[in-house]
């Protein structure tokens, strides 16, 4: 895959991540709602494409930073792409629902799930618009810190 294909989405993702850091710091409730809808949309997108275009996910193997991750994507993942992507998509949708939940009882675990997910995709390198996923995780950390303890 040509690196130029990633340039525009890469820039957009990183600019968005910086904006979300600012929102997470200044308007944590707004940030949690935005992230809730993003995780829901990402989950639906991945579920649909995991079923209809599973081979598209194999391109992430080329960009993976670690050889063991590349080997996993080109090996086990390539033979079970749809079920694995579907599981990831369900996780993303759960995070989204938890972030949109009115009470912090589920919101806080949703934020932690979002942080772990975003840190987890960072080793996909340019495929995850690195370092945007780490910046996005930072925005969720700010939301976690600045959300009122009781809602």
What does the pLDDT profile of the chain (151 residues) look like in tens digits?
566 777 899 999 999 999 999 999 999 999 999 999 999 999 999 999 999 999 999 999 988 999 999 999 999 999 999 999 999 999 999 999 999 998 878 999 999 999 999 999 999 988 889 999 999 999 999 999 998 876 5
**79 touches 142 (CB < 8 A):** no
Domain-located, residue 68: yes
The percent of the chain in helix, strand and coil, each rounded to the nearest 5, is 85, 0, 15
Query: Which pLDDT value is given to residue 74?
Result: 96
Spatial separation of the C-alpha atoms in residues 132 and 11, rounded to whole Å: 9
- Record the pTM: 0.92
Spatial separation of the C-alpha atoms in residues 50 and 9, rounded to whole Å: 20
Domain-located, residue 23: no
Element (H, E) at 37: helix 28-52
Query: Which pLDDT value is given to residue 6?
Result: 75
Which residue range(s) make up the domain with 55? 32-146
Please count the structural domains in the chain: 1
Domain-located, residue 100: yes
Domain-located, residue 74: yes
Domain-located, residue 19: no
Spatial separation of the C-alpha atoms in residues 126 and 55, rounded to whole Å: 18
């Amino acid at each position: 895959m040509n690196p130029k294909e990633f340039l525009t989405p890469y820039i957009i993702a990183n600019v968005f991540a910086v904006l979300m850091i600012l929102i997470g710091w200044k308007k944590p409730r707004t940030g949690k709602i935005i992230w809730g809808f993003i995780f829901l949309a990402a989950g639906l997108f991945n579920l649909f494409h995991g079923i209809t275009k599973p081979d598209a996910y194999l391109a992430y193997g080329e960009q993976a930073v670690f050889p063991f991750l590349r080997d996993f994507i080109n090996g086990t993942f390539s033979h079970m792409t749809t079920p694995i992507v579907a599981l990831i998509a369900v996780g993303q949708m759960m995070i989204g629902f938890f972030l949109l939940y009115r009470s912090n009882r589920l919101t806080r675990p949703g934020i932690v799930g979002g942080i772990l997910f975003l840190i987890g995709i960072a080793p996909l390198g340019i495929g995850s618009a690195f370092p945007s996923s780490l910046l996005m995780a930072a925005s969720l950390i700010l939301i976690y810190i600045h959300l009122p303890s009781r809602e």
